[in-house]
């Protein structure tokens, strides 16, 4: 009779043998690479350097039409937002928030008015602008291999495809010789959209060559009025269901493509609809006629719109203004710290006066 130890060893050998067979089957069953030009997976950092980001700091809506969930923190904290994300110690975060409060309170009356908050929002938004400008200098150098101060569409296309895993030298040779590129459908669609954006960023007279400033508009449309219009058109095109180039509430709150599979997903979708409905009715639809035009959406999206900044300041104050004096005291900001900083500060009241 076989011993228990021998039986278990036999099972282990059988398992390893089956695993090896399945691994071989998996390797040979995988579809062949549809392009001989592909050589390795793209490095996400390289790709992010040349691909327009979906998220734009200090802009109320993402490039894909989703609301920017971190907008309040971005326009209240500016560059210091990362410090609050990385440092979760309540005492240190309280001190940082107190320092910010003193900077916003320029007349030192121990409370923040809507005008003071508006000035601060504009200042923090400009910080994000300057950060984008500095990053753009580095990104522009990455796609301007000959250093002539201009990037052609072909130069950019080569760098983009290289970031997606294609062999850069082979791609460059094929483009130079006007040979057909074997590119998968998804990558080609992205390229087509990027080329439309490239045309829009190319200031008159159009030559398909972008200088550093035009490349900034390409990556960050919020820096250019013309590109901001283009971004708005793209968002409306994606959300507009009847083709009238306007958005109704039902179009704006329509759920993204996908199926709700469980109650948790349903709750997430309900919150998504609730947030979008509130933003549509209270902020974007300026004249409250139930329709959002391109002009209204453009004003809403413009991060340097002073009226929007004042409106945002009033809304931010209203969230934490418990004594209803239309100002923010330090205690109120500390109590509602999660709204302003994304960081929840516990036992804020106990330490307020002794620290500040």
Least confident of 44-48, 168-172, 269-273: 44-48
Whole-Å CA distances, 103 to 183, 186, 348: 53, 48, 19
128's CB contacts (< 8 A; 6+ apart) are 57, 58, 74, 78, 303
Distance CA 68, CA 56 (A): 9
Nearest residue to 153 via CA among 113, 209, 233, 191: 209
Could you tell me which residues are beta bridge partners of residue 210?
151
pLDDT at 53: 87
The residue that leads in pLDDT, 266 or 126, is 126
pLDDT band at residue 49 using 50, 70 and 90 as cut-offs: low
pLDDT at 265: 54
Region at 87 (left for phi over 0; alpha for psi -120 to 50; beta for the rest): beta
Q: Is the pLDDT of residue 148 over 70?
A: yes
Whole-Å CA distances, 22 to 11, 25, 31, 292: 16, 5, 16, 55
Average pLDDT taken over every residue of the chain: 82
pLDDT band at residue 81 using 50, 70 and 90 as cut-offs: confident
**By three-state DSSP, how is residue 178 classified?**
coil
The residue that leads in pLDDT, 242 or 22, is 242
Q: What is the pTM of this model?
A: 0.75
Distance CA 237, CA 244 (A): 9
Q: Is the pLDDT of residue 22 over 50?
A: no
Q: Is the pLDDT of residue 272 over 90?
A: no
The pLDDT tens digits of the residues spanning 163-199 come to 888 999 999 999 999 998 889 999 999 999 999 999 9
Cβ(77)–Cβ(84) under 8 Å? yes
């Amino acid at each position: 009779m076989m011993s228990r130890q021998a039986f278990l060893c036999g099972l282990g050998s059988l398992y390893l043998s089956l695993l090896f067979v399945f691994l071989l089957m998996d390797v040979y069953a995988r579809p062949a690479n549809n392009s001989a030009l592909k050589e390795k997976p793209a490095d996400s950092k390289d790709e992010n350097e040349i691909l327009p980001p979906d998220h734009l700091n200090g802009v109320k809506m993402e490039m894909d039409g989703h609301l920017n969930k971190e907008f309040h923190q971005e326009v209240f904290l500016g560059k210091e937002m990362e410090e609050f994300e990385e440092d979760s110690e309540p005492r240190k975060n309280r001190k940082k928030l107190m320092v910010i409060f003193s900077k916003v309170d320029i007349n030192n009356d121990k409370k923040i008015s809507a005008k003071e908050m508006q000035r601060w929002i504009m200042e923090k938004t400009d910080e994000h602008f300057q950060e984008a400008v500095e990053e753009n200098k580095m990104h522009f150098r990455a796609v301007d291999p000959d250093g002539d101060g201009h990037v052609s569409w072909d130069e950019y296309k080569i760098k983009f495809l290289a970031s997606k895993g294609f062999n850069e030298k082979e791609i460059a040779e094929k483009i130079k010789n006007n040979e057909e590129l074997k590119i998968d459908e998804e990558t080609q669609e992205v390229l087509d959209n990027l080329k439309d954006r490239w045309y829009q960023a190319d200031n008159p007279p159009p030559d398909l060559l972008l200088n550093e400033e035009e490349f900034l508009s390409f990556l960050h449309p919020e820096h250019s009025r013309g590109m901001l219009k283009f971004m708005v058109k793209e968002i409306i095109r994606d959300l507009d269901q009847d083709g009238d180039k306007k958005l109704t509430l039902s179009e704006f709150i329509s759920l993204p493509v996908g199926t709700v599979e469980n109650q948790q997903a349903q709750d997430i979708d309900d919150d998504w609809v609730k947030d979008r409905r509130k933003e549509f009715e209270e902020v974007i639809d300026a004249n409250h006629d139930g329709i959002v035009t391109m002009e209204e959406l453009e004003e809403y999206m413009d991060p340097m719109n002073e009226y929007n900044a004042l409106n945002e300041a009033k809304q931010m104050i209203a969230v934490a203004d418990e004594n209803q004096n239309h100002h923010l005291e330090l205690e109120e900001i500390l109590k509602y710290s999660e709204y302003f900083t994304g960081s929840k500060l516990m036992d804020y009241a106990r330490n307020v006066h002794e620290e500040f």
